[in-house]
Amino acid sequence: MSQSPLSNSQPAIVVENLGKCYTRASTQKPRTFMEAALKGFRDMRPEAEFWALQDVSFSVAPGQMLGVLGHNGAGKSTLLQVVSGIVRPDRGAVQVAGRMGALLDIGAGFHPDLTGRENVLISAVVGGLTRREASAQFDSIVAFSELESFIDNPLRTYSTGMQMRLGFAVAIHTVPDVLLVDEFLSVGDLAFQSKCLDRIMQLKNNGCAIVLISHNADQVRTLCDQALWLQQGKAKAYGDPEVIADRYVGNMDLKAQGQELHSYSQEIRIENVYAAQETERRSIDSGTAVRFIIRYQSKQVFLNVIFSLNLCDEEGQIVFNTNTATRELMIPIWEGDGEVALVVDRLDLSGKHYYMNVGIYSPDWSKTYDYHWQRYPFEIHWTPEENSILHPPCHWEISKDDRWLPLTTKQTNEI
């Protein structure tokens, strides 16, 4: 990762043994003054305690980015709130040095009846700029949001996406020393997202310390200098983003496997799906033969059913899709356990994490017996760092004396 000139100075954020406890009030707790007065101010004390964060420690140096991974309810947002100072910690200490900016509630202080222009100027001041600074940044903010032609229209005429863009543009122009980002890539279209990302990386390179919340492990892997994995309010792992992102993805798969979905008719149930190779490894080498095995359990006899299998990457993009109906196969099913397998002679996908998605249907597709989406992960192993979906067998040749000669590797090249 890039070394910023400031990365050797003292950390911008230090969090030590942080704990945050929420109290759950009694269900009898009066919500209104009248009620409380009538009850003689009883039932006001909290009933149960719940630690949203426990013993969390980390530090972020200027110019560094920390990625926080975790499932919903793991305490990610609470962590951001405590670091930002809007919620008090109950244990431990938080020290933040410098001006803070946040992409938490984008568009704070926006009012639908005011124009885009008025909202930008107010919101920039709310975000920490003086009016003079806000005016100086105004053109740059509007240019970033790409809303020049709408800027004098009332905000209520904007689409949600436009409002988010404007809010993001303001937030990113407050030039903070410490930036807290909550799932920022949900803003706007892809082009705008990458623009936001560029701007965040620019702030980082200028020495801004950033905490990024994400449940996208790839994002943390590629953007961050360190990662923190929160589970039920505790730090499950803290350190190298590569390692932690991998562990997080692996854990997510295990968790998904444990879930039971009963939204399908379940006459036949998918028991397990796994990829088998000659060698007993969790990852599969690209370009080798793979056997995808589907274990099922049936409650009755069927003359014919359809099995479908597709492979998708972590973003849900399907890279391969096939089913038994297109090949006009008959698959009779008996009561009890069974297995079917799809044998792929060569799987020429590039190296990444993928999921096997499997469905079992009636012969006319009218009924779904069972369907499992993104429950069974596997990994394709492939060494070159090339951004590619496919990795078909290929080699390079060079033309010499009207003949094509294959190129050889450095080691074997004879001079």
Partner 1 sequence: MYQRSAFQRQSRQRQVIYYRDLLWSLVVRELKVLYKRSVLGVAWTLLNPLLQLLVFSIIFQQVLKAGEGIDNYISYAFSGLLIWGWTQSALFQATGLITGNRPLIRQPTFPVPILPIVTVTTGLIHFLLALPALAIIMAIDRITLNWTVLLFPLLLALQFILTLSFAYPLAALNVTFRDTQHTLGVILQLLFYLLPIFYTVQDKNIPEWLQTFYAWNPLVILIEAYRAILLNGQLPPTSGLLILAGIGAVLLPIGYRIFQRQSERFVEEV
Q: Which residues bind partner 1 (CB under 8 A)?
A: 12, 22, 30-34, 36, 81-82, 84-89, 92-102, 104-105, 107-111, 113-114, 118, 121-122, 125-128, 130-132, 177, 180
Q: Which is nearer to partner 1, 88 or 403 (CB)?
A: 88
Q: Give the shortest CB-70-to-partner 1 separation in angstroms.
A: 20
Query: Angle, nearest 10°, between helix axes 116-126 and 131-145?
Result: 120
Q: Which is nearer to partner 1, 36 or 151 (CB)?
A: 36
Please report, as a single letter, which amino acid is at residue 309. Answer: L
Q: Give the shortest CB-153-to-partner 1 separation in angstroms.
A: 13
Q: Which is nearer to partner 1, 131 or 291 (CB)?
A: 131
Q: Give the shortest CB-180-to-partner 1 separation in angstroms.
A: 7
Please report, as a single letter, which amino acid is at residue 74. Answer: A
Q: Give the shortest CB-60-to-partner 1 separation in angstroms.
A: 13
Please report, as a single letter, which amino acid is at residue 250. Answer: G
User: CA-CA distance, 266 to 258, in Å (whole number)?
Assistant: 17
Q: Give the shortest CB-1-to-partner 1 separation in angstroms.
A: 21
Query: Angle, nearest 10°, between helix axes 131-145 and 160-172?
Result: 130
Q: Give the shortest CB-78-to-partner 1 separation in angstroms.
A: 10
DSSP label at residue 156: G
Q: Which is nearer to partner 1, 108 or 276 (CB)?
A: 108
Q: Which helix (H) or strand (E) holds 217?
A: helix 217-223
The number of angstroms, rounded, from the C-alpha of 53 to the middle of its chain's C-alpha atoms is: 21
User: CA-CA distance, 373 to 379, in Å (whole number)?
Assistant: 16
Q: Which is nearer to partner 1, 213 or 252 (CB)?
A: 213
Q: Which is nearer to partner 1, 111 or 352 (CB)?
A: 111
Maximum distance among all Cα pairs of the chain, rounded to whole angstroms? 101
Q: Which is nearer to partner 1, 112 or 316 (CB)?
A: 112
Judged by phi (left if over 0) then psi (alpha if -120 to 50, else beta), residue 310 lies in beta
User: CA-CA distance, 390 to 388, in Å (whole number)?
Assistant: 6
Q: Give the shortest CB-95-to-partner 1 separation in angstroms.
A: 5
- The residue ranges of DSSP E strands in 281-352, in sequence order, are 283-285, 290-298, 306-313, 318-323, 336-344
Characterize 263-281 residue by residue with b for buried, 16 or more Cβ atoms within 10 angstroms of its Cβ, and e for exposed. ebeebbbbeebebebeeee
Token pair listed for 302 = 């069927």
Q: Give the shortest CB-319-to-partner 1 separation in angstroms.
A: 41
Q: Which is nearer to partner 1, 154 or 363 (CB)?
A: 154
